[in-house]
Amino acid sequence: MSTPGATARNLMASGSVSEGVESRRVALDVLDRVDRDGAYANLALPSRLAESELDARDRGFVTELVYGTLRRRRSVDHLVDRHVERTDVELRVRNALRMGAYQLRWTDVADHAAVDATVSAVPKRARGFVNAVLRKVARDASTYQFPTDALRLSVPDWLLDRLRSDLGDRAVPVIEAMNERAVVHTRPDGYRQDTASQEVGRLFAEVADGSVIADLCAAPGGKATHIAGLLGCSVAALDRHAHRAKLVDDAADLTSTAAMAVVADATAPPLRPGVFDGVLVDAPCSGLGSLRRRPDARWRITADDIGSLRDLQFDLVAAARDLLRPGGILVFSVCTLTDAESLHVDDRVADAFGDLLPVALSEPWEQHGRGGRLLPDRFDGDGMTAFAYRRSP
Ligand SMILES: C[S@@+](CC[C@H](N)C(=O)[O-])C[C@H]1O[C@@H](n2cnc3c(N)ncnc32)[C@H](O)[C@@H]1O
């Protein structure tokens, strides 16, 4: 199943929604909320769409405009700023320029339709200015050569530098892949889950049906319900935050699986040690691997966030080890691509726990140290890093 955004692209090619001024207005409302109120796009968008009277096709187009403009913000600002000398451009007008430039460079909407409909969506007093700037942008939007990779890829310099140092030559293709529209995958049980997350659940496939499993960082419940369904077992699904644990209950209801939400700090889990056949630590992390699905995340994450959770990640793995029975499987996963949040944590695990023996990960995982990773340039899903260990008897 494809996202509304991908559908919109097909529609735009036929020109059937390209004149929607109301779609542009709704998209601008969402962009303004993200910038002005710090709202998350994936929450602000559905809530604004619910208030609108747009049909399904126009909703898909709005999704494309919002996600694309947010994702390409650095690039579109660059395209626009070449033609703007004023520094007092109000937020809504700035977002209209960004959204116009996005359409001109990255969509199939005809240039005149992109400019006219965007101009019509801003207050009258700003229309002349937006029209003049977008007409200049339109002259070379599709052929313009960005002066740096970070500007072209629309990422902060630090992010490209960090991924270059950790991924080498794969950094640019990986970011290019994460700049594509996300594809939503729906599992047979109705839960929508990225394919990389499904690969993490499959790491438990060899554990016998009916096993006892703990998921220490479970909300919103994607992996807990996947594992419960795969193994036909109950999963003790811990999360520290009550409002997030509620999401696990919702996921269990949707999928009719026995993932039982428990609100608890998993560094001191209220569970019996030494009896679990499998324990998952899908740890909190910077989230750099899921930029495709979270278009505004690249502007929220800072260089200081990378590695800031590594003590917590290690403590969670240590708590997970105590829960395992001898011979049981522990999986530590993070939806990120940096060594600080993966290899460096595993180094500490190797030093501290000689009884956690690494299990090699097979296709589609690419070997990474003692574990594996999925990189979005070759694997069609989020970037993910995982380590599997068997506790020696
Ligand atoms: C990456 S998300 C988990 C995603 C989930 N496994 C899934 O597939 O749907 C990490 C989760 O860890 C939770 N968390 C953070 N610190 C925790 C702690 N000390 N104990 C338990 N849960 C924690 C967060 O609330 C968040 O829901």
pLDDT digit string (tens) for 253-290? Answer: 999 999 999 999 999 999 999 999 999 999 999 999 99
Check which CATH number belongs to the domain holding 114 and give it.
1.10.940.10
Residues 6+ apart with CB under 8 A from 47: none
Query: Which residue has a Cα nearest atom 17 of ligand 1?
Result: 240
End residue of a domain, out of 145, 179, 210: 145
pLDDT tens-place string over residues 326-382 = 999 999 999 999 999 999 999 999 999 999 999 999 999 999 999 999 999 999 999
Q: Give the H/E segment covering residue 389.
A: strand 384-391
Atom of ligand 1 nearest to the CA of 267: 19
Q: For residue 376, which of 195, 156, 223, 193 has the smallest C-alpha distance?
A: 195
> Would residue 13 count as lying in a domain?
yes
> Would residue 344 count as lying in a domain?
yes
pLDDT tens-place string over residues 140-158 = 999 999 999 999 999 999 9
> Would residue 117 count as lying in a domain?
yes
- CA dihedral (144, 149, 153, 159) in degrees, to 10, reads -160
Is 335 designated active site? yes
Q: Supply the DSSP string of 240-256, one letter for each residue.
A: S-HHHHHHHHHHHHHHT
Domain that holds residue 382: 195-391
Q: Is the pLDDT of residue 127 over 80?
A: yes
End residue of a domain, out of 110, 145, 180: 145
Please state, in angstroms and rounded to a whole number, the distance separating the CA atoms of residues 287 and 161: 17
> Would residue 180 count as lying in a domain?
no
Residues 86-103: what's their mean pLDDT?
95
> Would residue 342 count as lying in a domain?
yes
> Would residue 84 count as lying in a domain?
yes
Q: Is 208 in the same domain as 99?
A: no
Residue given tokens 């290019």 in the structure block? 176
- Give the largest Cα separation in the chain, rounded: 75
Q: What is the 3-state secondary structure (H, E, C) of 65-133?
A: HHHHHHHCHHHHHHHHHCCCCCCCCCHHHHHHHHHHHHHHHHCCCCHHHHHHHHHHCCCHHHHHHHHHH
Q: Is 254 in the same domain as 381?
A: yes
Alpha carbon distances (Å) from 9 to 161, 173, 222: 32, 22, 28
Q: Is 199 in the same domain as 126?
A: no
Q: Is 206 in the same domain as 123?
A: no
Q: Is the pLDDT of residue 242 over 60?
A: yes
Q: Is the pLDDT of residue 217 over 50?
A: yes
Q: Is 256 in the same domain as 375?
A: yes
Structural domains of the chain, count = 2
Q: Is the pLDDT of residue 9 over 70?
A: no
Check which CATH number belongs to the domain holding 347 and give it.
3.40.50.150
Please state, in angstroms and rounded to a whole number, the distance separating the CA atoms of residues 246 and 361: 32
Percentage, residues of the chain above pLDDT 70: 95
Say which DSSP state 374 is in.
Answer: E
Q: Is the pLDDT of residue 5 over 70?
A: no
> Would residue 58 count as lying in a domain?
yes
Q: What is the CA radius of gyration of the chain?
A: 23
Atom of ligand 1 nearest to the CA of 284: 10
Q: Is 215 in the same domain as 325?
A: yes
Residues with CB under 6 A from ligand 1: 197, 216-223, 238-241, 244, 265-267, 282, 284
Q: Is 291 in the same domain as 201?
A: yes
pLDDT tens-place string over residues 76-94 = 999 999 999 888 899 999 9
End residue of a domain, out of 145, 167, 184: 145
> Would residue 285 count as lying in a domain?
yes
pLDDT at position 182 is 87
Q: Are the C-beta atoms of 30 and 41 separated by less than 8 Å?
A: yes
Q: Is 133 in the same domain as 225?
A: no
Q: Is 57 in the same domain as 205?
A: no
pTM, two decimals, is 0.92
User: Rounded to the nearest whole angstrom, what is the distance from the C-alpha of residue 281 to the centroid of ligand 1?
Assistant: 8
Q: Is 311 in the same domain as 233?
A: yes
Q: Is 204 in the same domain as 98?
A: no
Q: Give the H/E segment covering residue 319.
A: helix 310-323
Q: Is 26 in the same domain as 111?
A: yes
User: Rounded to the nearest whole angstrom, what is the distance from the C-alpha of residue 154 to the centroid of ligand 1?
Assistant: 29
